[in-house]
Amino acid sequence: MKTGNWKIVGGFGAHIKSNRTELIIQHKGIIKETPINEISHLVIFGGHNIQTSTITTLIKEGVFISFCESDGEPVGYMAPYDYSSFREIQELQKSVAPYSYAFTCALGSIRTRILTIEKYAEIFGPDIIYSGELDLLSGYSKELENMVRIEELRRIEKLVRDMYYEIISRFIDPSLHFKRRTVRPYSDPVNAILSFGYGMLSSAFTRAVVGGYLDPSAGFLNRGNQALVQDLINCWKCEMIDKAAIEFIRSDDFNVKGYEISHGRCILKEDIIQQLITIFSSTINPDLIDSQVENLIQALKGESQFSILR
């Protein structure tokens, strides 16, 4: 897999083109040029214009391209031909008994959320956790060991996720109207910011998964498009996205004029999008993501035990 930096284009209306050696992005009268040999991954959020010759050039140079909606929802990807040498590893992926992998993902997701809540209680005070909630969450973690069906693992993991976001809402400014994690379209800036970060994290994991010849839709715990990617990113959202997002939202850098709410939908403005790209580019660790996916591949080959790396 080609190594290097990723390039992220957010907002709307950029013109993306290239020559043989440079990727050229023109946006609001500003032109930025980046050597193609320094790019491993191009992530495009929202509506922009990109030349087909540029796509061809990037793919030939081994650049992975991810496409997301403006709110961070992953749409698809384009990859060089050598990313499709997948038969052996995907057959292993689909033939192994899925329960142990699903259990590891569910337990990883739950434990990282409990640990994160405990850290927030140290920072913001124990009152953010209602009486008995932490015991309840720990009980869910222990209860996983008694689950025999993947559907049960999925239910408990989602229940803990829902509680996690509800607890987070208690130390976020009430005027932002964040009470829980919601589905699209997002009506508050907190959900919009989290989703943008999750889109970046999903793109990073998709590149690693596809680069490892795995099927991103063949999950163990989750089902549907990007199921495997969701299995993995739910174990890393707290560490790579949530902490930085909450710190930003609670900081003086967060400007309430950086978004607008129209017809029940929150739209992030250009300035805040650029801030988020800078923040999450520093908190998402591609090397660690590659190591996590490599751990999964080794487990599928019977060379090691699958685990969530810490």
Percentage with pLDDT > 70 across the chain: 97
- 48-75 per-position pLDDT tens digit: 999 999 999 999 999 999 999 999 999 9
Strands (E), the chain: 5-9, 15-18, 22-27, 30-35, 39-45, 49-50, 64-68, 74-78, 259-262, 265-268
Q: Determine the pLDDT at residue 310.
A: 84
Which CATH superfamily groups domain 87-300? CRISPR-associated endonuclease Cas1, C-terminal domain (1.20.120.920)
Q: Determine the pLDDT at residue 82.
A: 64
Q: Determine the pLDDT at residue 254.
A: 94
In degrees, to the nearest 5, what angle opens at C-alpha 294 toward C-alphas 114 and 81? 125
- 220-274 per-position pLDDT tens digit: 999 998 999 999 999 999 999 999 999 999 999 998 889 999 988 999 999 999 9
Instruction: Return the residue matching tokens 């209860």.
Output: 143
- 166-183 per-position pLDDT tens digit: 999 999 999 999 999 999
Supply the angle between the helices 189-211 and 270-283 in degrees, to the nearest 10: 50
Extract the annotated binding site for Mn(2+).
Answer: 157
Spell out the domain ranges in the chain.
5-68, 87-300
pTM of the model: 0.94
CATH class of 5-68: alpha beta
Mean pLDDT, range 24-50, rounded to an integer: 95
Contact 193, 276 (CB under 8 A): yes
Extract the annotated binding site.
Answer: 157
Contact 227, 219 (CB under 8 A): yes
